[in-house]
Each structure stands twice: as structure tokens, then as C-alpha cells.
Amino acid sequence: MRYGLVGASGRMGQEIQKAFAEHTLCLTVDINGETCDDTPQVIVDFSNRMALPRTIELCRLHRAGLVVGTTAIVQEDIELLRKLGEEVPVVQSFNFSVGVNILKMVLRQFAPYLEDWDLEICETHHNKKKDAPSGTAILMREVTGRNCPTHSLRMGGVPGDHSAFFANEGEVLEFTHRALSRSVFALGAYRAAQFVVNAEPGFYSFEEVIACAPRKSSSL
């Protein structure tokens, strides 16, 4: 697989290069400029919102699919990505951890049974993360269908903790995901890139990528 990487010199850029080590990095974009040695099949962007217009330009120029994990994008950016999805496959997510996306599926399924319980969401990230609450916390709130209080902590080097707390007078039910390393997000991006190089044009979520994974058959 030939891939391009926006934000190649950043922390996530370095993690992505480790996850994609067996593949060819042929295009890079970072604060030092751009390099291009070949035509990428997919471009990966975990940088920042300001880079997104150029990322979209490069996808159109090279007819490359896109995996985008930028967290601070707004609805206007989502619409631009949807438009790009009419031409090439695009996977967009605020969190490329498989576990977080499974957590969202669980909340979507079971939150209706807890509608008369109190609900609050809490997320913790490293002290250099600027957006608060995180995109993942917002999505967790949305899948519950409730506009519940959402709390953000910015401390140390925490890669990402997300919890949903349900409580009534006698019980507390806690759903928590904890990322132990940034590598989980890079591995998720790799999984999405593998999906993109074989996908039809469209705008996809990472949940859809996970749902497309082959399942092992159980033997009796």
C-alpha cells in the first residue's frame, strides 16, 4: 500500500508511520513543507483543522482515499468530507480506537433501558489537547440521545479516558474505555486505510469499517 501522511512529523504522525511500517510512505505534509515520490492510494490526516483543505486537494489530485482523524473539525468540514466522498472513499472518525467504537455501539443499544437514570460523561486527555469536550465524548453523548453534563480533564500525558456514568438511588453503572497508548489510534487508522484502498467512493464511519471485518466462526 502506498500512503500519504499529513502531519508526518507530529506525535500521531510518528505512531502512524510505525503502524504502517511494512508499507510505502510516498507523500508527506508537515510544517516543513510537502514531499511526493509517488501516487498514494490513501492519505491519512490526524493533524489539525487548518490542514484539511490541502488534504482534500491532495486527495482529488491523486484520486486517493482518505482516513481523517482530526478531532477539532466542525460541521462545515464534515460537509466538505461528505462531498469528497462522492469521488473517493473517506473514513472519518473522532476516535480510531476499536474499543471506543464498540463502547459507542453498547451505549446506543442499552441507553434506552436507562432513560430514567441520571447520566454524566467524563473524559480525560493529556494537557496539550486543546478541544474540550473531546469529539469522542460528544459522540458518546449523542448516541445516548441525551444532552447530559459532560466533563473534561486535561492532565499529564493521558492518551484518552472516556466514561459514561449512569446512576439511580441504589446503583451506579459505569462504561469506561481507557487508551493506554497512542498506538491504538494508529492501528485503527491502519485498519481504516486497508478498508479504503478496496472500498467504493463514499463517506464511512469507523464503526462501518469495524462491522466489515470478517468474523471467526465458532466451532462446537
* Residues involved in catalysis: 125, 129
CB 2 within 8 A of CB 41: yes
Q: Look up the pTM and report it.
A: 0.85
Domain parsing of the chain, residue ranges? 2-92+183-212, 98-180
* 98-180: CATH superfamily: Dihydrodipicolinate Reductase; domain 2 (3.30.360.10)
- Detail the residues annotated as belonging to a binding site for (S)-2,3,4,5-tetrahydrodipicolinate: 126, 135-136
Annotated binding-site residue numbers: 7-12, 30, 69-71, 93-96, 126, 135-136
2-92+183-212 maps to which CATH number? 3.40.50.720
Ordered per-residue pLDDT tens for the chain, 220 residues? 999 999 999 999 999 999 999 999 999 999 889 999 999 999 999 998 999 999 999 999 999 999 999 888 899 999 999 999 999 999 999 999 999 999 999 999 999 999 999 999 999 999 988 889 998 999 999 999 999 999 999 999 999 999 999 999 999 999 999 999 989 999 999 999 999 999 999 999 999 999 885 444 333 3
